[in-house]
Amino acid sequence: MSVTCFIRYQLDPFQLDAFRAYAENWGRIIPRCGGHLVGYFLPSEGTNDVAWGLIGFESLAAYEAYRARLRTDPEGRANFEMARRLRFILREERTFTEVVAGTLSRPALSLSTTDAA
């Protein structure tokens, strides 16, 4: 995964359940269309109207091929239509990033009792 698409959503905070269903649908669709779904993230504490979707690709060309498959996927088209009809997404921004080597998925280290003091 050399490129990650960070999708920032501004949501109607009164329709978070609709966005949750939308994100759950992508959990089936995105991998089928060739994206590496890192995950969707809803607000929990703090700001109540911003959510994130993270999808990885081997390259920008792989992303473009994924988008083409997505446009022809019946379930993907239905999910886009549901979002349009219910209008729970107020704004969507996409940013493409590359990971800094040695920094992705680094687990926390155990703290000994002397370290925690």
Question: What are the 10-residue block averages of pLDDT along the chain, 117 residues in total?
Answer: 93 97 98 97 94 96 96 97 98 94 86 62
Angle between helices 16-33 and 60-72 (to 10 degrees): 110
Q: In the prediction, which pLDDT does 102 show? A: 87
Predicted TM-score (pTM) of the model is 0.85
Q: In the prediction, which pLDDT does 103 show? A: 86
109 - beta bridge partners? none
Q: In the prediction, which pLDDT does 99 show? A: 86
Q: In the prediction, which pLDDT does 40 show? A: 98
Q: In the prediction, which pLDDT does 114 show? A: 58
Q: How many CB atoms lie within 10 A of CB 85?
A: 9
Which amino acid is present at 79?
A: N
**Residue 66 to residue 76: CA distance in whole angstroms:** 11
